[in-house]
Homo-oligomer: A and B are copies of this chain.
Amino acid sequence: MNDGPYIAEAAALMGDPARANMLSAMLDGRAHTASELAYVAGVSPQTASAHLAKLAQGRMIAVERQGRHRYYRLANEEVARALEALMVLAVKGARRHRPTGPRDEAMRFARTCYDHLAGRLGVGLTQALIEKRYLEQNGDAFHMTREGEAQLAGFGLDIAAARKGRRIFASRCLDWSERTPHIGGALGAALFRELESRCWVTKPSDGRTVTLTKAGRAGLRDWLDLSLG
């Protein structure tokens, strides 16, 4: 089998600016309506509809109908990874200067990646859990230690629930901005949910940047000795 045509098929789906805008928006892990996605892609609803059909056919997104609304989200973590891998190339490949704004810095600091935390915060959190020996590295995933299990259960995570299902428990997801991995998988998602429920992090009403609250800063320092500039 020659890989080329298959790679091209997957890449071509991401290779249109409108579709890439939509996929990128969906990296926030939320479900989005077709109208919202048309808006972020800057195209008409008819054009958006055609693009979404293609992405669905290529299995990069999943759709859920609720009345007259169609909700779209990324199909799986592999799509997020491929987007991050292409973003690494995009950043590296840039010839012309791409002036960074405050939003860029915010994105580098903390953002969602599908359903878990990315950026300096995501990576810092991951490193802290390793340093505390709550996690160990094991292949393309993390392994939770016995102490880690106790600690994270004590922190409020339903570890048993996170272990259930087919999804990788604690995958490693390469971060385009930090160039080192953050926790993904079911554990990464559960951790993010708990941080949100404690109001240690907040998501804005739209977009992917995540804010670390004062409570979160204090909480992470107390829990993991984690300080971030």
Contact = CB atoms under 8 A, between A and B. Distances in A.
Interface of A: 1-25, 41, 58-60, 76, 78-79, 81-83, 85-95, 98, 100-101, 103-104, 107, 127, 136-140, 172, 174, 179-181
A47 to B, nearest CB: 14
A180 B14 contact: no
Contact of A93 (B58, B94, B98): B58
Contact of A20 (B7, B76, B139): B7
Contacts of A3: 20, 24, 83, 87, 90
A14 B17 contact: no
Q: DSSP majority for the A interface?
A: helix
What 5 A-B pairs have minimum CB-CB distances, sorted nearest first?
A4-B21, A12-B15, A137-B137, A15-B15, A6-B90
B14 A19 contact: no
A139 B98 CA distance: 28
Indicate how many identical chains form the complex: 2
A14 B8 contact: yes
30 contacts: A1-B100, A1-B103, A1-B107, A3-B24, A4-B17, A4-B18, A4-B21, A4-B24, A4-B25, A4-B41, A5-B21, A6-B91, A7-B23, A7-B83, A7-B86, A7-B87, A8-B14, A8-B15, A8-B16, A8-B21, A9-B93, A11-B12, A11-B14, A11-B15, A12-B12, A12-B15, A78-B92, A81-B88, A136-B137, A137-B137
A140 to B, nearest CB: 5
Contacts of A101: 1
A60 B94 CA distance: 11
Contacts of A181: 139-140
A20 B1 contact: no
A17 B5 contact: yes
